[in-house]
Structure 1
Amino acid sequence: MIRIISLHERPELAPALTAALIEAWPKWYGPGGSGDARREAAARAGRGLPRALVALDGDQLIGTASLVETSIPTHAHLRPWLGGLWVRPEARERGLGLELVRASRAAAKHMGISRLHAATASAASLFRRDDWSLIDETELPAHPGEIIGVWAIDLV
């Protein structure tokens, strides 16, 4: 049975989240990358922002999403964000990404957040299916030629 919980409920899963972040974004979190997956996983185990949600199949982490204060530098004025959405390849095509987005929305609303943002170059259809609005498009220096959609949803 798959369930989605906040990492603060099972902080011992932080090493599994660290491994997932490295697997999902090896250029950022892997050797030579600028990110620190272990530090970020530990920080996301709290009850405030940042906060990670993890999808578990039994005790195996198969997906994650996080609520974070900021995301892409071109839109630093927008806060907060749903970021770090990832589903293990063998668990994809089962609707888990959408479940993680919806669980993130519910967690944000429970925290008193009234508007949530997200950025993606590859999951536009997922955000469209969940009634998010495309509010902008941008290109990031780290990803030349790739158009990033900036999405928002009101939670009130």
Structure 2
Amino acid sequence: MYIDYLLNHPNKIKEVAEMIYKEFVEKTGSNMTYEDVVKYFSNTKRHAFPITVIALENGECLGTVSIFENDLKIRETYKPWLASLYVKPVHRGKGVGQKLVDKTIDIVKELGFRTLYLRTEYASDYYRKRGWTYVETVSDDQHEQIDILKMKCI
């Protein structure tokens, strides 16, 4: 298995868009369409946000993660953000997610940032056990409680 930039694998854009659309867009009731998500992932970059990487093995996309400049409008001073971490269910528990996160931290360091943030509604314990530090809990525009965590990238 290896991690690479999505922009190097344009044939995987629709697959990544479908994973993210089903997991993070449909479930939130967002107005974004699947086509909007495809367009978004068609424009990810390597040295500027948004950045998306994928885990590949034998040509199969196992999972993905993105880096956004901002993933929470009410906290615009926190930059950048780990976002949309998703591993296909059949590949969970095999370290794919951690390798995606590790690559994200490496990219953020290369770009000169010292801190990486993330938001989560349900997985605070997962991230805390992996070295992330709790920052605060906020309410989003739908009044859902969101934990913000950070990782020092030194």
Q: Could you tell me the TM-score, scaled by structure 2's length? A: 0.86
Please list the CA deviations of residues 76-111 of structure 1 after superposition, one character each: whole Å capped at 9, or x if unmatched.
221111101111112112222222111110111112
Distance 1:87 1:4 in 2: 13
**Per-residue deviation, residues 40-83 of structure 1 (Å, max 9, x unmatched):** 11122443211001111221212111111010122122111110
Contact 2:7 2:42 in 1 (8 A): no
C-alpha contact 1:55 1:63 (8 A) present in aligned 2? yes
1:109 match? 109
Task: Provide structure 2 residue ranges, at least 5 long, that are not aligned to the other structure.
Answer: none
What is the CA distance between 1:28 and its match in structure 2?
6.4
Distance 1:47 1:14 in 2: 18
Matches of 2:58 and 2:127, distance apart in 1: 27
Give the root-mean-square deviation of aligned CA atoms.
2.1
The reply to whether residue 119 of structure 1 matches residue 116 of structure 2 is no
CA distance in 2, matches of 1:28, 1:79: 25
> Residues 99 and 125 of structure 1: is their aligned pair in 2 closer, same or farther, counting only changes over 3 Å?
farther
1: CA distance, partners of 2:152 / 2:125: 18
Structure 2 partner of 1:140: 140
Q: Which residue is equivalent to 2:31? A: 33
More off after superposition, 7-16 vs 71-80:
7-16
Write the distance in 2 (CA, Å) between the matches of 1:68 and 1:5: 17
Unaligned ranges ≥5, structure 1: none
In structure 1, how many angstroms separate the alpha carbons of the residues matched to 2:89 and 2:45?
A: 24
Tell whether 2:10 aligns with 1:18.
no
Q: What amino acid is aligned across from residue 77 of structure 1 in structure 2? A: T
TM-score normalised by length of structure 1: 0.85
Alignment of 1:8 with 2:24, yes or no, is no
Question: How many angstroms apart in 2 are the aligned matches of 1:114 and 1:95?
Answer: 24
